[in-house]
């Protein structure tokens, strides 16, 4: 799975002008399933995200996780993270999992993280979403789990 984490002061997702998910301080997690991904891959990604120390401690060092700071998680599916532009100027998305597999892994990711963390919001799989955020830092971390 591919993910991009953004530490945020706040973030929200809108679909057709309606807010479908929102958090205060925490992490915006854009996530894309790849064809070889499984539920175990999704769980490994969640475990890493929850323990990743990218929030500041009292000394200003990145030493705290989203769990340590009781931050929110806003998880948004984004198949375009698998874009391949090596063949020209039009991206190919063949590296992304087929839609049904992507939906299943996205829903598994949400269910799994909700069992591990109290503040979780999400976007809508396959929808035309508008994502609003105030990046904190900015801190942006790309992740790939196999």
Tokens of 83: 């874009």
Tokens of 5: 């984490």
C-alpha closest to that of 23 among 145, 104, 118: 118
DSSP letters spanning 83-94: -B-TTSSS-B-T
C-alpha closest to that of 42 among 86, 105, 126, 104: 105
Catalytic positions are 78-80
Contacts for 12 with CB less than 8 Å, ≥ 6 apart: 19, 21, 22, 23, 74, 131, 132, 133
């Amino acid at each position: 799975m591919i993910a991009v984490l953004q530490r945020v002061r706040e973030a929200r997702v809108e679909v057709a002008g309606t807010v479908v998910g929102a958090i205060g301080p925490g992490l915006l997690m854009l996530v894309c399933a790849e064809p070889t991904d499984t539920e175990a891959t999704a769980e490994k990604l969640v475990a890493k995200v929850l323990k990743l120390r990218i929030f500041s401690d009292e000394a200003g060092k990145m030493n705290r996780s989203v769990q340590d700071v009781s931050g929110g998680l806003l998880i948004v599916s984004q198949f375009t993270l698998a874009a391949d532009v090596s063949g020209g100027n039009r991206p190919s998305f063949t590296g992304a999992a087929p839609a049904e597999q992507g939906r299943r892994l996205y829903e598994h990711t949400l269910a799994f993280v909700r069992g591990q963390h109290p503040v979780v919001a999400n976007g809508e799989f396959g929808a035309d979403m508008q994502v609003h955020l105030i990046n904190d830092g900015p801190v942006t971390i790309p992740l790939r789990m196999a």
